[in-house]
Amino acid sequence: MSPLKKELLIAPSILSANFAALGDNITRVEAAGARIIHLDVMDGHFVPNISFGPGVVKAVNGITQLPLDTHLMIEKPDRYLEAFRDAGADILTVHAEACTHLHRTISRIKELGMHAGVSLNPATSLTAVEEVLPMLDLVLIMSVNPGFGGQQFIPSSIQKIRTLAMMIDDCRSGAMIEVDGGIDASTIQSVIGAGAHYLVAGNAVFGNGNIETNFSHLHSLTLTRT
């Protein structure tokens, strides 16, 4: 499996889409230029909210060719790795806080033919991924406490992204940095400046206003530096 390309991408999170018109919302964001789709899977245990499971991932896979960036906010994710692979996940990200044997879980994701990511909650130190960095395709920094869309960006995430970028350089890992939570026109450029590659955006794309205009506006901000 070829490594992920280090490039700046907006990853629209369908958590904030209209679930009754999910196919339409995805088609529109894809037509507006999206090159990846972020899917937030929540189990009501690891996070206080419930979203959807492999069935929805499979349905999304059936209507788009875009890579599916699947973020598991679930306890004991090992039970479901194969189900998400079969559903069409391309990148599978688990939370370090939810895995007792993180090395084993990452190895299994890769054996199943997916790109492996690990996510850290705002209160979790980068040391939680240090030992496994060389084997990772992606590290997902949560810049809000996971569970809900539309929350405010936590400013200390910026320093965390900078430090992670240095750690990745130091160990020559190919891991991409993804940032998730509270990304909008006011935060996106500082996140990019700190070293992030994939920028998850839910509310800022599917919230108020027009999906195409929202996506294009955010995308234009990835092209210009202030």
Is 114 near ligand DX5 (CB under 6 A)?
Answer: no
Is 187 near ligand DX5 (CB under 6 A)?
Answer: no
Rounded to 10 degrees, what is the CA torsion of 119, 205, 53, 61? Answer: -110
Is 95 near ligand DX5 (CB under 6 A)?
Answer: no
Which of Zn ion, ligand DX5, none has residue 201 at its interface (CB below 5 to 8 Å by kind)?
Answer: ligand DX5
CB of 39 to Zn ion, least distance (A): 8
State how far the Cα of 46 lies from the Cα of 30, in Å rounded to an integer.
30
Please, which of residues 67-86 interact with Zn ion by CB under 5 A?
71
The single-letter code of the amino acid at 90 is D
- For residue 14, what are the contacts with CB-CB under 8 A and spacing of at least 6? 22, 25, 26, 37, 38, 39, 40, 60, 202, 206
CB of 207 to ligand DX5, least distance (A): 7
Nearer of residues 27 and 49 to ligand DX5, judged by Cβ: 49
CB of 107 to ligand DX5, least distance (A): 24
Angle at 43 between CA 42 and CA 45, to 5 degrees: 120
CB of 21 to ligand DX5, least distance (A): 17
- Of 63, 66, 73, the closest CA to residue 22 belongs to 63
List the one residue from 36, 89, 158, 183 that touches ligand DX5 (CB under 6 A).
183
CA 170 to chain centre: 23
Query: What SS3 class is residue 125?
Result: coil
Asked if 40 is an active-site residue, the reply is yes
Is 71 near ligand DX5 (CB under 6 A)?
Answer: yes
Would you give the binding string for ligand DX5 spanning residues 31-70, x where CB under 6 A is met? -------x-x------------------------------
Is 180 near Zn ion (CB under 5 A)?
Answer: yes
CA 90 to chain centre: 12
Residue pointed to by tokens 């492999």: 54
From the CB of residue 104, how many other CB atoms can be counted at a distance below 10 Å?
Answer: 11
Is 95 near Zn ion (CB under 5 A)?
Answer: no
Contact residues toward ligand DX5 (CB under 6 A) are 13, 15-16, 38, 40, 71, 144, 146-151, 180-183, 200-204
